[in-house]
Structure 1
């Protein structure tokens, strides 16, 4: 097993990670590093000595650090009180002199300037992995010329391709194993407006062997620019990309797809199990709530104007450099993401007085004309629960299916009329309530997900009749599970073709 771990370290499937802070309570972690999976930094249960590269099995809840403490590396040994021979470096914490750190800083500055790299490159995990690798080589072989160690760019390119192929095979095997128990795939399409290229991304979500939710990007593929984004063409791309991961068309029926509610993607997936992305639904609800139409009341037009003026203000603050005078930065909105719009409004309302003062010093106070603080605060406060709901349901490290029902009722409660509401808030609450009922449909799958969450299994948010229907459906699924064959059938019904 040790040889297998070494081979995967060499190929890049596994990487070395130094424990820091609270995770490195024992001094033994000064001498050892944890071996983790390169994709998600998850522990594989092995550690490696930083000096001699000896590999030990390590599971904190079983083996502890005793075997690591007994490890003897090199000739410097020390007997402890119990008579056990230990490496003296276990008792000495290496301290790098200030002038050495300064030399490294100078080298990093030169890297960024000569190679035109961003300053935060030195904060990346990848850079630190390379730096640690070079330090380890120096400690083992002494002073060596960097050019004799660093690979040619073509070598790096070739290794990247072979590593990608190996990792794809591992991920393909993992996904196909998970397929029989159930897997969800989220898919999204977007266009790079600068290069006019369209892309489709696929992310798989499944329960791994450790009973943890795992999310892995399956593919990010360019959509053929010569083709129209019809349901048929999108369907063909989905089939192709999943086939590359060993998922045959006949087995796609086992996948639960999640996407936005675009007509073309819905039509492309109509032969399969599908549900809408609730975070996207919330975005649509807010977009339509604040849309200005011919019959939109004047007071709502004023609210929309305030939001637009906040956007212009933030743009000016950033472009003029005035933002550096503020205690906190301001957030620029992304036109298609209401969460970013809420964050923008919040960043202005929290620093309203400070922004006023900074603009006054530049004789630019007119840029805040029409931005009424009381209206801005009221609307922002109303929008924050929608932002929280959207962010929670975008999580990919924990189940989110049960959150749909919970947030549906919570947001509807939040939208109920409040005594003393100004006219614009009466309108906003009514519009949001109507759109929540229209757009945020609650399916049986959502209800079952809530029932399977232990905290909410009583389903008190539903009426007795609806609650009993969910219980009946759960019993029916259990009976089907009990009567199902241990191995899946050899043939599965082919999905109906999507017309061109």
Structure 2
């Protein structure tokens, strides 16, 4: 009767009470009532509400933090993700740290430790590393050469994690930066003394036109008439700018065919972003194949327009030269049963085999050194215990 009233008077469908979520809620409420020491329970204290949540959030945070510290204390290998950002309106800088590790059954676990206000003296590499180390100490974690750190590839963050850890550059950041250059920059600095022209004017012009139309539609509240919400320009996900612009029907000043070509050209890049952002399983082994996949997609076709040719030529060159492949990528790829033949990029196979041999030799030396030390320790223990054994044997003979 109560369930009927809940659905009928509250204008809710009966399927609400059939779902797993409602069933789990009901079980939990029964369990709380059964285990309570008081004779009466105020049901409003159990149901979620802004006041009850704010009242208990600090307590829950501290409880889960203690559980996370217990997990961290037992980890022998892990990977950190470290990033920095500055809030545009307040100017406050933040440092975000996430923890990843693979469990007993090859399951990937991810914990966001926190996004901390950055209160170090400066943004120098030394102060950044000290800031991160201090936070890790609180969670019983310590970096060394066997622990991994994933960061972006900005010059100010690279030296902070050059030592006492194995740093891996964020593949998303490598790729996104080259897309940003293609659509925004006139020139890029290859190094301190070398400047290179981007030469993507045609694509940049159409992007500027699209951005103006998007901004105008949003400010005039016309997007309510559209089937999909428009997204404005975001540096964090540059490839989505033109893909989202497909929902715009009124862009008379824009060359429709060229815009469609650019959108189609960018779709593989969005696929790669999604694949590399996988949070349920490791994706390091996919970097080499996906990088080659994009390089193949950047090959110029006979019917490509001048704008697409400019864009493809620039991105192919930058992906090859600026998106760096490390030995960690090669090892993870050659050890993967489906990728070890390097069918997608055969030129990386020989390098990966050499890296794997080096790792085998390194571990052989470590194992042989460990065995030698153990043998010496055993021999010394035997020698030190021999006189005592002889004395015991003599005493037993005398007794007999």
TM-score normalised to structure 2 length: 0.76
> Which residue of the partner structure matches residue 462 of structure 1?
346
Are positions 1:370 and 2:274 aligned together? no
Q: Of the two, which has the highest radius of gyration? A: 2
1:236 and 1:153 mapped to 2: Cα distance? 37
- After superposition, give the CA deviation of every residue in 1:192-230 in whole Å (9 maximum; x if it has no partner): 222221111111111113331111112321101x73211
Unaligned runs of 5+ in 1: 1-93, 107-124, 357-367, 487-500
Aligned with 1:241 (options 130, 135, 146): 135
Residue 469 of structure 1 and its aligned partner are, at CA, apart by 1.4
Secondary structure of 1:454's match?
Answer: coil
Taking a change above 3 Å as real, the CA distance of residues 140 and 236 of structure 1, as seen in their structure-2 partners, is: closer
- After superposition, give the CA deviation of every residue in 1:3-55 in whole Å (9 maximum; x if it has no partner): xxxxxxxxxxxxxxxxxxxxxxxxxxxxxxxxxxxxxxxxxxxxxxxxxxxxx
Secondary structure of 2:240's match?
Answer: helix
Residue 373 of structure 1 and its aligned partner are, at CA, apart by 0.9
2:35 and 2:56 mapped to 1: Cα distance? 24
1:169 and 1:484 mapped to 2: Cα distance? 38
Aligned with 2:156 (options 238, 261, 264): 264
> Which residue of the partner structure matches residue 222 of structure 1?
117
Tell me whether 318-327 or 401-410 shows the greater mean CA deviation: 318-327
Taking a change above 3 Å as real, the CA distance of residues 374 and 206 of structure 1, as seen in their structure-2 partners, is: same
1:129 and 1:199 mapped to 2: Cα distance? 37
Aligned with 2:268 (options 373, 378, 385): 385
2:346 and 2:355 mapped to 1: Cα distance? 10
1:135 and 1:301 mapped to 2: Cα distance? 66
Say what the alpha-carbon RMSD is for the aligned residues.
3.6
Tell me whether 125-134 or 322-331 shows the greater mean CA deviation: 125-134
Q: Which has the higher helix share?
A: 2
Secondary structure of 2:156's match?
Answer: helix
> Which residue of the partner structure matches residue 405 of structure 1?
288
- For the 8 Å contact 2:334–2:352, the answer to whether it is kept is no
- After superposition, give the CA deviation of every residue in 1:304-347 in whole Å (9 maximum; x if it has no partner): 12212222222333333322322333333313421332xxx223
> Which residue of the partner structure matches residue 360 of structure 2?
475
2:41 and 2:68 mapped to 1: Cα distance? 38
Taking a change above 3 Å as real, the CA distance of residues 407 and 477 of structure 1, as seen in their structure-2 partners, is: farther
- After superposition, give the CA deviation of every residue in 1:123-180 in whole Å (9 maximum; x if it has no partner): xx999987885688799999975567679999866754443333223222322322x2
Taking a change above 3 Å as real, the CA distance of residues 152 and 375 of structure 1, as seen in their structure-2 partners, is: closer
Secondary structure of 2:153's match?
Answer: coil
- For the 8 Å contact 2:334–2:353, the answer to whether it is kept is no
2:92 and 2:303 mapped to 1: Cα distance? 50
1:425 and 1:242 mapped to 2: Cα distance? 46
1:470 and 1:422 mapped to 2: Cα distance? 42
Aligned with 1:186 (options 81, 86, 91): 81
1:139 and 1:408 mapped to 2: Cα distance? 57
1:481 and 1:256 mapped to 2: Cα distance? 20
- After superposition, give the CA deviation of every residue in 1:245-277 in whole Å (9 maximum; x if it has no partner): 1124xx533321110011121111111311110
> Which residue of the partner structure matches residue 428 of structure 1?
311
1:202 and 1:347 mapped to 2: Cα distance? 30
- For the 8 Å contact 2:243–2:266, the answer to whether it is kept is no
Taking a change above 3 Å as real, the CA distance of residues 404 and 152 of structure 1, as seen in their structure-2 partners, is: closer
- For the 8 Å contact 2:206–2:254, the answer to whether it is kept is yes
Q: For this pair of structures, how many residues does the alignment match?
A: 350
Residue 439 of structure 1 and its aligned partner are, at CA, apart by 1.3
1:128 and 1:473 mapped to 2: Cα distance? 55
2:83 and 2:91 mapped to 1: Cα distance? 17
- For the 8 Å contact 2:182–2:198, the answer to whether it is kept is no
- For the 8 Å contact 1:292–1:301, the answer to whether it is kept is no
Aligned with 2:224 (options 308, 312, 324): 324
- For the 8 Å contact 1:459–1:467, the answer to whether it is kept is no
> Which residue of the partner structure matches residue 443 of structure 1?
326
Secondary structure of 1:264's match?
Answer: coil
Secondary structure of 2:123's match?
Answer: coil
Taking a change above 3 Å as real, the CA distance of residues 156 and 414 of structure 1, as seen in their structure-2 partners, is: closer
Residue 449 of structure 1 and its aligned partner are, at CA, apart by 0.5
1:458 and 1:480 mapped to 2: Cα distance? 27
Secondary structure of 2:295's match?
Answer: helix
TM-score normalised to structure 1 length: 0.62
Are positions 1:207 and 2:102 aligned together? yes
Residue 292 of structure 1 and its aligned partner are, at CA, apart by 4.0
Are positions 1:101 and 2:1 aligned together? no
